[in-house]
A and B are shown apart, each in its own frame.
Chain A
Amino acid sequence: KAGVTQTPRYLIKTRGQQVTLSCSPISGHRSVSWYQQTPGQGLQFLFEYFSETQRNKGNFPGRFSGRQFSNSRSEMNVSTLELGDSALYLCASSLARAGIYEQYFGPGTRLTVT
């Protein structure tokens, strides 16, 4: 079974621009979660989508948004980029049913904002 895929793998943007990242979950997984990872803050939860609905949300400003499509693929968008948005963005997919909550991570998208 193919794992979680994320595109693009690397991205360089300038301040003020916006960016869209994509995530394809493991086949059959309906939950997709997004995380931001930086050396100083560790792994921080952005949001989780299940069946096209945002089910949980972390403490990030409204510049960070996401959506999920009917095939469970998900995108996240960051508008008006700031230097501090430079990070590794990870998505993780999960069956999220019947007490099974294991999350499997994709390779991540490394975003650099200059």
Chain B
Amino acid sequence: QKEVEQNSGPLSVPEGAIASLNCTYSDRVSQSFFWYRQYSGKSPELIMSIYSNGDKEDGRFTAQLNKASQYVSLLIRDSQPSDSATYLCAVNNNNDMRFGAGTRLTVKP
């Protein structure tokens, strides 16, 4: 079982829709969780971090964490073509960061 699992996609949504990206992790004692966006040919860019159960909102992005279910998600509201990228979920336990393989998102105009 992989430590951090994501659906590889591609996930395709129309412009203006909500994109929902999911991630599960295996290490129950993981402490902090992150979402990165990576455009083709570029390095990952941190877009959200979440440390506590519940929702955290930042602009069009909402991260959701459920530690009991070992599940973290990212919602992108009002999706734009510029959101088309690969989204990486990362899980940190005591400075040991593990990444999922990423979900490729395409937002169609």
Contacts and interface: CB of A to CB of B under 8 A. Distances in A.
B98 A45 contact: yes
Contact of A105 (B31, B44, B100): B44
Interface in A36-77: 42-43, 45, 48, 50, 55-56
Interface residues of B, number: 22
A102 B99 contact: no
B95 A90 contact: no
| A interface majority secondary structure | strand
Interface string A76-114: 000000000000101010101001011111111000000
B88 A43 contact: yes
A55 B95 CA distance: 9
17 contacts: A31-B95, A35-B99, A42-B101, A43-B44, A45-B96, A45-B97, A48-B96, A92-B97, A94-B95, A99-B31, A101-B31, A101-B95, A102-B34, A102-B46, A105-B45, A105-B46, A106-B43
Interface of B: 31-32, 34, 36, 42-46, 49, 51, 88, 90, 92, 95-102
